[in-house]
Structure formats: structure tokens, C-alpha cells
């Protein structure tokens, strides 16, 4: 996997991704604490709104940006978007009203939504060989899992010596470093593509995606991932700071438990997937998340909430989360012709984030209006519905069927 880093251009792009992810992770931790300072026990509602704004930007802007990513100078576009993110992160350091957070988050995530498809469209041109590109995809996934561990740990260390507002400066540094790494290499010019209208370019991947049984099933599993993930990302700050009365460092270590679970699964899955098909592994991960949500609800009812219980459950949710997400790239590659893969990957990005657009506000609203146990039960039930949909749309006998032919589109 690490052999692809011998390519200087890809190595710089990968490092740019890593430092930007670390900066974003610090901003996520800081945003939770900022929301708690600005709104107290209503922090879950604020964070739910923040993450909803993020998903609106992803779902609405990413497909459009992806349609034009091969028509603009890539290096200039990536650097410009990195610097815009850095400017917005710097502005977050000075906010004192909730509405200011909403405006700045929309700008930040709009830039991020444009950056991601442009970055993804660049990698196949830098690494045109299929096997090297596949390793790059795996390395990228590993970077996301590492960020889930390193960012909370780094935040825990920094919060011991500085206020959470200073974490936004770390975000600025991450995006500036990313821009410098991108500008240090020459990127391939966009390749000419088959002439298509904007509508066809932005919807082709979604049409292929929704016509493929295994991908429709994966969309149901995406709902399970977003239901459990929204509980973690939106409500952890209220559980740790509000209900348990713990400090900022405890919040960081609680998020670390979630990231650690994801990383453990990511490291174990390659060998497991050599012996077991993707479908049962992904379904097991999804059921694990449902069991964790219902399990902690039962634990709170019977014994009350404790930090060890929360850490253990968040670790299990991280395990299930990675068990669903890690094999997803294999399904996407298997379900489309090479020339259609960028469109199908973009469709997965948009459609999976549409699930988060539902679950983020639901997690914040339910937690604020009804409390912890109803939120856990509702999100656990929604995750179970996603699994049932996956079983319906992706029967076991279709697990190894070929993907949809491009001639149908």
C-alpha cells in the first residue's frame, strides 16, 4: 500500500489530504465546545444544525463541482479552495453568535464539497495504473481512520495547555500546509471526456448507482452508518460535558474511542475480506451499531450513564462504522465500468451524505426535545430500517453478480 508514496506528486497530494484532515478534525472538536459555550444544553441542536448545513453543501454542491472538475486548472482550484477554508477557519476564532457559526460553516463546507471531487478526479491521472490507484484509495481510507484517532488525541493534548479557540488556528495551519503541498507539484491537465450536457454529467452516476442492486443495498447501510454516526458526532459533547460533567479532555478521549474502534476494524478487515464476502461483513457491522445504540439505551435505563459505558459503546460503533465503510470502495469499483467509476464514486458521495442530511438534525432535535434514551432508540430504529432495506434491495444471491452495463445509460 505504501509503495504508491514513491510517486512524488501523489505523495504531496496525500500529505496535503492528511494535514487538511487533521485541521478539520481539530475544528470539529473546537466546534463542539464552541456550541456548548454559546448555547449550553441546546448545543446538540446547534451542532445538529451545523452538520445539516455541512450536508446541504455536500449534497448540493459536490455533484456540480464534480461535473466541472475536469474543465478547470486543478492546481489553482485546489489551492484556492484550501486558502478559502483557511480564511473561514480563522474567522471562526472570533465568532460570538450562533448565526455567525452557521454562515461560516456553510462557506467552509461549500469549499470542502468543491475540493473533494476535484481531488478525487486528480488521483487517477497521477496514478493511471489500476493497481496503484486501488492502493491509493485504500491509503486514503486509512488516512480518514487515522484522523479519527489522531485529531482527538492531539486535541486532548492541546486542550491541556490552551483554550479550545486555539484549535481553530491549528485548522488554519492545516489548510495552509495543504495549499503549499499542492502548489509544490505539477498536476496533470484534465483529460478530455466524452461530450455530455451538464445534466447528464451530474446524474449519470446516480442513475447507474440506483440501477445496481448491491449499491441500492449499500445506500440502506449508509443510513445505518449515518444514524449511529450522528448520535456520536452531534450528541457526544452534551453527554460528556452536560450529563457527565467532565472536562474538554474527556470529550477528546471519548471521540478517540470512536476513532480507535474504526481503526481496529480497518486494520483487521483486509484479511477478513479475503475469506468472507463483503455483504455479510457489512451487514454484521451495521447490526453491531444497532445493538450498541439499543445496548447503551438499556444501560442508561438500568444503571444510568457512565463514562466507561460511553467509551465502550462508542468503540463498538466505531468498529461497526468501519466494517460498513471499508468494503464500500470494492463494491463501487465492481459495479461500474472504468470510465464510469468517477461518476459512481461521486454518486456515492452525494447519496450517502443525503442520509446524514436526515440524521444530523434528527439527532440534535430528538436529544434536545426528548432526552438521551429516546434519541438512542429512534436512531437505533432508523439504523435497523436501513439494514432491512439493504436486505430487501441486495439479496444474498446477487452478491457476486456483475455490475450494470454502461450501455444501458
Using an 8 Å Cβ cutoff, are 260 and 149 in contact?
yes
Give the pLDDT of residue 51.
75
Q: Report the distance separating Cα 25 and Cα 168, nearest Å.
A: 10
List of residues 6+ apart from 257 with CB closer than 8 A: 310, 311, 312, 314, 315, 318
Residue 33 and residue 164 in contact, taking contact as beta carbons nearer than 8 Å: yes
Name the packing angle between helices 8-39 and 74-92 (round to 10°): 20
CB 365, CB 226: distance < 8 Å: no
Q: What is the pLDDT of residue 137?
A: 64
d(CA 26, CA 345): 27
Give me the CATH code for the 2-189+198-398 domain, please. Answer: 1.20.1250.20
What is the C-alpha to C-alpha distance for residues 330 and 279, in angstroms, rounded to an integer?
11
Residue 408, pLDDT score? 47
Cβ atoms within 10 A of the Cβ of 276, count?
13
pLDDT at 1: 55
Instruction: Name the residue ranges covered by the structural domains of the chain.
Output: 2-189+198-398
Q: What is the pLDDT of residue 206?
A: 79
Block residue for cell numbers 471562526: 92
In 35-85, DSSP assigns E strands to none
pLDDT of residue 197: 58
Residue listed under C-alpha cell 439504523: 383
How confident is the model at residue 152, as a pLDDT? 66
Tell me the per-residue pLDDT of 315-340, one tens digit each, with 9 for 90 and over.
999 999 989 987 887 787 777 776 66
Q: Grid coordinates standing for 334?
A: 465492481
Closest CA to 229 of 53, 49, 357: 357
Please report where in the chains the cell 436501513 appears, as a residue. Answer: 386
Residues of the chain whose pLDDT is less than 70? 1-2, 62-63, 65-71, 117, 121, 130-131, 133-135, 137-138, 141-142, 144-149, 151-153, 189-202, 338-343, 398-409
Q: What is the pLDDT of residue 202?
A: 64
Query: What is the per-residue DSSP string for 186-223?
Result: PPPPPPP-----HHHHHHHHHHHHHT-HHHHHHHHHHH
CA–centroid distance for 74 within its chain: 23
Amino acid at each position: 500500500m505504501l509503495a504508491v508514496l514513491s510517486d512524488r506528486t501523489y505523495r504531496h497530494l496525500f500529505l496535503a489530504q492528511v494535514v487538511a484532515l487533521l485541521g478539520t478534525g481539530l475544528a470539529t472538536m473546537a466546534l463542539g465546545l464552541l456550541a456548548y459555550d454559546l448555547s449550553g444544553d441546546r448545543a446538540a441542536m446547534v451542532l445538529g444544525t451545523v452538520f445539516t448545513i455541512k450536508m446541504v453543501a455536500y449534497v448540493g454542491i459536490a455533484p456540480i463541482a464534480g461535473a466541472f472538475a475536469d474543465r478547470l486548472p486543478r492546481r489553482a482550484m485546489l489551492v484556492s479552495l484550501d486558502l478559502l477554508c483557511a480564511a473561514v477557519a480563522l474567522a471562526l476564532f472570533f465568532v460570538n453568535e450562533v448565526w455567525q457559526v452557521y454562515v461560516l460553516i456553510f462557506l467552509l463546507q461549500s469549499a470542502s464539497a468543491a475540493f473533494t471531487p476535484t481531488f478525487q478526479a486528480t488521483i487517477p491521472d497521477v496514478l493511471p495504473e489500476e493497481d496503484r490507484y486501488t492502493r491509493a484509495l485504500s491509503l486514503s481510507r486509512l488516512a480518514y481512520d487515522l484522523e479519527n484517532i489522531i485529531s482527538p488525541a492531539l486535541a486532548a493534548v492541546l486542550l491541556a495547555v490552551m483554550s479550545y479557540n486555539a484549535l481553530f488556528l491549528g485548522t488554519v495551519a492545516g489548510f495552509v500546509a495543504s495549499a503549499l503541498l499542492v502548489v509544490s507539484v505539477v498536476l496533470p491537465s484534465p483529460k478530455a471526456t466524452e461530450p455530455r450536457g451538464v445534466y447528464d454529467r451530474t446524474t449519470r452516476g446516480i442513475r447507474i448507482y440506483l440501477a445496481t442492486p448491491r449499491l441500492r443495498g449499500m445506500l440502506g447501510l449508509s443510513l445505518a452508518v449515518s444514524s449511529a454516526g450522528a448520535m456520536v458526532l452531534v450528541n457526544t459533547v452534551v453527554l460528556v460535558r452536560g450529563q457527565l460533567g467532565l472536562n474538554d479532555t474527556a470529550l477528546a478521549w471519548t471521540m478517540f474511542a470512536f476513532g480507535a474502534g474504526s481503526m481496529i476494524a480497518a486494520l483487521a478487515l483486509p484479511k477478513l475480506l479475503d475469506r468472507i464476502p463483503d455483504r455479510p461483513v457489512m451487514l454484521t457491522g451495521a447490526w453491531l451499531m444497532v445493538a450498541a445504540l439499543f445496548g447503551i439505551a438499556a444501560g442508561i435505563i438500568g444503571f444510568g450513564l457512565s463514562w466507561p459505558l460511553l467509551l465502550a459503546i462508542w468503540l463498538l460503533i466505531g468498529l461497526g462504522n468501519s466494517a460498513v465503510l471499508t468494503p464500500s470502495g470494492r463494491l463501487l469499483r465492481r459495479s461500474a465500468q472504468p470510465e464510469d467509476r468517477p461518476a459512481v464514486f461521486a454518486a456515492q458521495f452525494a447519496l450517502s451524505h443525503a442520509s446524514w442530511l436526515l440524521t444530523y438534525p434528527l439527532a440534535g432535535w430528538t436529544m434536545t426535545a426528548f432526552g438521551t434514551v429516546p434519541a438512542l432508540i429512534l436512531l437505533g430504529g432508523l439504523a435497523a430500517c436501513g439494514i432491512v432495506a439493504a436486505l430487501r434491495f441486495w439479496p444474498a444471491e446477487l452478491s457476486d453478480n456483475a455490475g450494470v452495463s454502461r450501455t444501458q445509460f
